[in-house]
Amino acid sequence: MMGSGKSTIGRILADRLNMSWVDMDDAIEAKGMKIPEIFEKHGENKFRDIESQVTAELANSKSLVVSTGGGVILRSENVGLMRTSGKTVYLQADKSTLIRNLTNGRDHRPLLKDGSLEKKIDDLMVVRANKYISSADLVIETKSFSPHELCDQIVKLLKL
């Protein structure tokens, strides 16, 4: 889920494993448009098409830690690519953590841009929660741990 700490954890984990790190949102934007601009000009479906293309490109890479976008699990082909190309981890953050992490920068997150942030998070989780869990090799709650402690757990539990 957006705001769960994927980028922070991804960077630390890649460093710890001596791997490269890619933030999928950055990889999407490197194709020429900022994510809010893609949503505004072409809509969410076009964004999801680009996201799927980037997922396929990254799935062919080795020794890579990828911080995906929160909606990558909405397409089963993305989940399949992720599951066959490596291990997947769902960072399960509670709502208060998500609200805290997402309050600033909502303008850069088209799905959160307008209305109540709490309601938007609730609505997204209704659609996504089970998909996050079913697509993950490891589900890890983030609330009680520092980013470094979370990385320790991920390495230990996935035996990396």
What is the C-alpha separation between 76 and 40, in angstroms, rounded? Answer: 25
Task: Write out pLDDT tens, residues 102-158.
Answer: 998 787 888 898 889 999 999 999 999 999 999 999 999 999 899 999 999 999 999
- The mean of the pLDDT values for the chain is 94
Q: Classify domain 6-147 by CATH number.
A: 3.40.50.300
Per-residue pLDDT at 39 exceeds 90: yes
pLDDT at 114: 83
